[in-house]
């Protein structure tokens, strides 16, 4: 695998990045023969595009500069079209729960890969912490899939990610203040840390959005409640992960960083993708993002007197790789199942004070039954 070197090759000019409907909407993949990790790459990149689009809208709502707003509008149109191409690669016969299993496969194997390669121990701890929560979601949704659609989770996971308990979902409901974290320092943080933090934040944000826009589509009460329950934990994860980012980064600096996140992720996809049709898309979009980096770099130069090269290194390694992480996940479950966040640190359950805010919060939401427990119970009875 070749390192990510964003300044080495040329991007596609912006006016060549707008595409017609047929170029934008390509035939979907076949859900039973697609490689599980091709599917997860698509899910991740859809999340990256969709949530960077949101960020660029927020930026526009907070700036009165016509030059910046013009560039943001142009970038947004491209990001939006890229998102269509990626998300529309999913076939219509892939059910909501099947796609959900793939989302949790992303959460498990992406988070594990980022954690393994994360230079900052605190950020790594935050990744490990949420990793074994998403791993447990996969277990709960798998039970729902077996029960409602008589499906085999491995038709989606292909045996690459295991289906078994992590930190129990019912124990993951925390008071909002317990999801806050310390942030990295924009001046001293390793660039890989910045890439990791924003990649996972964007991915988790999309997971939240997917559950929140699809959980009501099932008529069964247990499905509706399980989606509501797990969606809220994804919101907790977004809160944790975004808190790791330095809020002192300027809007333009963050925009540049996010364009680098896109380019780095597309480059990682390109280097690891076995499907030739998807490879073409990753390569094309990689070249778009190189140009986005250049465009935002020019704005940064003009408004802040800094260049893209001041912020982005010549070469970044390692890349993001989707691959099985069974031993790693087992180990984290074994070592960290009893960790809980308190005062922005992670401590053993036994060290929590009696008035830990999340005790009261979890009692509030869990009174009256816990859907993630009920789904396992109902599935056991049905078997
Ligand atoms: Fe993009
Ligand atoms: Fe999550
Ligand atoms: Fe972009």
Model confidence at 120, pLDDT cuts 50, 70, 90, reads very high
pLDDT greater than 90 at residue 61: yes
What value does the mean pLDDT take over residues 346-361? 98
The pLDDT of residue 203 is: 98
3-state secondary structure of 184: coil
pTM for the model: 0.98
pLDDT digits (tens, 9 = 90+) for 67-103: 999 999 999 999 999 999 999 999 999 999 999 999 9
Kindly list the distances between the CA atom of residue 131 and the CA atoms of 61, 104, 109, 261, 369, in Å, as whole numbers in the listed order: 34, 10, 9, 20, 24
- Distance from Cα 7 to the centre of ligand 2, integer Å: 33
Share of the chain above pLDDT 70, in %: 100
Model confidence at 211, pLDDT cuts 50, 70, 90, reads very high
Model confidence at 383, pLDDT cuts 50, 70, 90, reads confident
- Distance from Cα 114 to the centre of ligand 1, integer Å: 21
User: Secondary structure of the chain: what % helix, strand, coil (to 5)?
Assistant: 65, 5, 30
- Distance from Cα 283 to the centre of ligand 1, integer Å: 12
What value does the mean pLDDT take over residues 349-361? 98
pLDDT greater than 90 at residue 142: yes
The pLDDT of residue 351 is: 98
The pLDDT of residue 11 is: 98
pLDDT greater than 90 at residue 196: yes
- Distance from Cα 233 to the centre of ligand 2, integer Å: 7
pLDDT greater than 90 at residue 301: yes
Whose tokens are 């090269």? That residue is 309
pLDDT digits (tens, 9 = 90+) for 257-270: 999 999 999 999 99
In contact, 222 and 372? CB cutoff 8 Å: no
What value does the mean pLDDT take over residues 141-148? 97
Ligand nearest to the CA of 166: 2
The pLDDT of residue 6 is: 98
Instruction: Tell me what the pLDDT averaged over the chain comes to.
Output: 98
Ligand nearest to the CA of 167: 2
pLDDT greater than 90 at residue 115: yes
- Distance from Cα 241 to the centre of ligand 1, integer Å: 21
For residue 146, the surrounding DSSP H or E stretch is helix 121-149
In contact, 160 and 324? CB cutoff 8 Å: yes
């Amino acid at each position: 695998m070749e390192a990510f070197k964003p300044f080495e090759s040329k991007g596609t000019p912006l006016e060549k990045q707008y595409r017609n409907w047929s170029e934008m909407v390509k035939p979907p993949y076949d859900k039973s023969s697609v490689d599980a990790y091709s599917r997860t790459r698509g899910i991740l990149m859809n999340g990256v595009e969709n949530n960077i689009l949101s960020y660029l809208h927020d930026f526009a709502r907070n700036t009165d500069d016509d030059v910046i707003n013009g560039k943001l509008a142009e970038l947004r149109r491209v990001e939006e079209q890229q998102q269509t191409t990626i998300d529309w690669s999913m076939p219509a016969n892939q059910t909501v729960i099947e796609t959900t299993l793939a989302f949790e496969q992303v959460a498990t194997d992406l988070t594990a890969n980022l954690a393994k390669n994360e230079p900052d121990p605190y950020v790594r701890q935050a990744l490990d912490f949420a990793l074994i929560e998403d791993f447990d979601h996969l277990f709960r949704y798998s039970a729902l899939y077996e029960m409602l659609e008589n499906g085999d989770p491995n038709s989606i996971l292909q045996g690459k990610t295991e289906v078994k308990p992590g930190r129990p979902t019912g124990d993951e409901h925390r008071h909002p203040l317990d999801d806050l974290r310390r942030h990295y320092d924009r001046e001293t943080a390793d660039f890989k840390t910045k890439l990791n933090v924003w990649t996972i934040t964007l991915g988790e944000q999309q997971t939240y959005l997917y559950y929140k826009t699809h959980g009501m589509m099932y008529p069964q009460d247990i499905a509706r409640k399980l989606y509501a329950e797990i969606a809220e934990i994804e919101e907790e994860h977004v809160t944790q992960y975004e808190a790791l980012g330095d809020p002192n980064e300027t809007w333009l600096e963050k925009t540049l960083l996010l364009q680098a996140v896109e380019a780095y992720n597309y480059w990682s996809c390109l280097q690891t993708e076995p499907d030739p049709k998807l490879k073409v898309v990753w390569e094309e979009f990689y070249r778009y993002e190189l140009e986005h980096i250049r465009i935002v770099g020019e704005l940064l130069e003009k408004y802040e007197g800094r260049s893209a090269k001041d912020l982005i290194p010549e070469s970044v390694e390692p890349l993001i790789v989707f691959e099985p992480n069974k031993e790693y996940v087992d180990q984290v479950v074994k070592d960290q199942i009893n960790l809980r966040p308190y005062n922005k640190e992670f401590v053993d359950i036994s060290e929590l004070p009696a008035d830990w805010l999340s005790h009261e919060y979890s009692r509030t939401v869990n009174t009256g039954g816990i859907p993630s427990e009920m789904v396992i119970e109902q599935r056991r009875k049905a078997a």
